[in-house]
Amino acid sequence: MKSHWHETIQRYVDGQSSAEEAAALLKGLNEDAELRALYLDYMNLDMALGAMADEAAVGENGSNRVTSLHEARVGSPPHYGRWTAAAAAALAVLVVFAMLPRGPKPLRTGHDVAAAITSAQVAIARLAFDTTSALPAWMSPTASLLEPPRVPE
Amino acid sequence: MPGLIDQQHDTFLRLFAEHEPAVRTFVRSLLPSRSDASEVMQEVAVVLWQKFAEFDASRDFRKWAFGVAHYEVLTYLRDQARDRHVFDDALVNRLADAAAAAEPRHDAQRDALEACLEKLPPAQRELVLCAYAKGTRIDGLAVQRGQTPMSLYKVLHRIRQALLECVQRQLAVEGPQ
């Protein structure tokens, strides 16, 4: 495995690739199983770091975020954060789907689902401001305000 | 049959809550950006619920959810086909197969990551978590630190590579997954 792929993959993940770099990476991913495995490991790392940052940052304001992040990591016993995040994620999922309509045809339209998810996001956002629970990105306060769910036609 | 519907509803909640992190990671693996993955994941959640009545309970929910997610990613990428630097169908299919096969390894890597983060110097740990915090813009963070965005990206790349090598070393010591 050539070491330059580490940098190439990360530039692509960060949206920093030139056209030539992106084309070379896509070609390599198509042809090289080992490169695909490395790429997937970086994507997994990217997801995991995002989840850890979310759980560390929820409830903090921007001005003391870095200090708070450090305190959140150092002050937490091992695995505490992950279990908190998992519990919060499960709770958020339960809230969303508990709000979906029940009946012989559980969903009449995509609009029902989107509305339920949006409502749940708002409800969860209110909860999130009062707790230190981390939430999945699509249920976060930011998502509820800035990025309404897409509605399937 | 309200009782049956309630039971179906509760079963879905339990299964989705259990497997959502794995499905999200699978979707992220097939898409080049976090925002794309977030958008597709919303669609996947909706479709899983809409099709849950057709789900055979004797089957593996996660595999079924991966299949639905795979299809939704392909649909999304076809809609984005104007961008020539996104994955084509053949590559998505290869990555989907590899991602499904790598799932136990990725679970173990996520478990190992916490210990590897703790091994980083505090300043690097704070930086990487800050860079990943929701709402953080790399250019803004670079200005705060008196760096150019390019130099900050390079620092982050070195930290991520160090983290990945750390989790890989740790899993190698623990044995095959």
Residue contact B85–A52, C-beta within 8 A: no
Residue contact A97–B106, C-beta within 8 A: no
**Backbone CA torsion sign across B31, B36, B38, B40:** negative
Per residue in B24-66, pLDDT tens? 888 988 887 888 899 999 999 999 999 999 999 899 999 999 9
Chain B nearest-CA residue for A19? B85
Q: Report the gap between the CA of A112 and the closest CA in chain B (Å).
A: 10
Q: Is B109 on the interface with A (CB under 8 A)?
A: yes
Exposed/middle/buried for residue A37 (C-beta within 10 Å: 0-12, 13-18, 19+): middle
Residue contact A73–B117, C-beta within 8 A: yes
Q: Cα separation of A136 and B103, whole Å?
A: 20
Per residue in B105-163, pLDDT tens? 998 999 999 999 999 999 999 999 999 998 888 999 999 999 999 999 999 999 999 99
Pick from A93, A110, A113: CB nearest B17: A93
B41 contacts in A (CB within 8 Å)? Answer: 138
The model carries a pTM of 0.67
Per residue in A40-75, pLDDT tens? 999 999 989 988 998 776 545 444 444 444 443 333
pLDDT, mean of residues A125-150: 37
Which range, of A18-22, A103-107, B158-162, averages the lowest pLDDT? A103-107
What is this model's ipTM? Answer: 0.83
pLDDT of residue A29: 94
Pick from A26, A103, A140: CB nearest B91: A26
Cβ-Cβ pairs closer than 8 A, A with B, add up to 200
Q: Is the pLDDT of residue A144 over 50?
A: no
pLDDT of residue A153: 36
Q: What would you report as the CA-atom Rg of chain A, rounded to the nearest whole angstrom?
A: 19
